[in-house]
């Protein structure tokens, strides 16, 4: 499998190997079309990590969002697969930034659970073997 820089960065963010401020800076350096694509890839990663509806509150907390922010409201209002798609589809700039933070947090929560359950004895997932970023 070819690892794309985008996938590496998203996994580094979810694992805390890269700061969220670095992530936001990277995300905002892309044009709106590329940002939409990044959000869709994040959504896909969340689904692949087996995110569940119960991940919503912890993800909101980790993302530093208020419960009244649009992405936070969306994640708590229905089946997570559908809600992740709605969050990834937000278009206002400030909502996209919040969506990015929330989807990274969802990925972090879901992937941590997956690691504990399936990979605690070691695994071959490339994204679980990333080096610490020194930027």
Please give the structure tokens belonging to residue 100.
């990015």
> CB within 8 A of 112, min separation 6: which ones?
none
Segment 16-29, tens digit of pLDDT: 989 999 999 999 99
Can you give the pLDDT at residue 96? 96
Segment 63-101, tens digit of pLDDT: 999 999 999 999 999 899 899 999 999 999 889 999 999
pLDDT-based confidence at residue 4 (cuts at 50, 70, 90):
confident
pTM above 0.75, yes or no: yes
Sequence ranges of the domains in the chain? 7-117
Segment 9-64, tens digit of pLDDT: 999 999 998 999 999 999 999 999 999 999 999 999 999 999 999 999 999 999 99
């Amino acid at each position: 499998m070819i690892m794309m820089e985008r996938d590496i960065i998203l996994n580094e963010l979810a694992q805390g190997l890269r700061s969220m401020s670095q992530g936001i800076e990277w995300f905002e350096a892309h044009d709106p079309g590329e940002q939409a694509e990044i959000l869709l890839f994040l959504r896909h990663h969340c689904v692949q990590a087996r995110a569940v509806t119960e991940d919503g509150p912890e993800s909101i907390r980790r993302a530093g969002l208020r419960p009244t922010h649009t992405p936070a409201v969306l994640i708590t209002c229905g089946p997570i697969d559908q809600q992740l798609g709605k969050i990834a589809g937000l278009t206002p700039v400030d909502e996209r930034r919040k969506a990015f933070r929330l989807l990274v947090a969802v990925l972090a929560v879901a992937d941590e659970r997956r690691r504990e359950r399936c990979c605690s004895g070691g695994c071959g997932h490339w994204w679980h073997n990333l080096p610490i970023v020194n930027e």
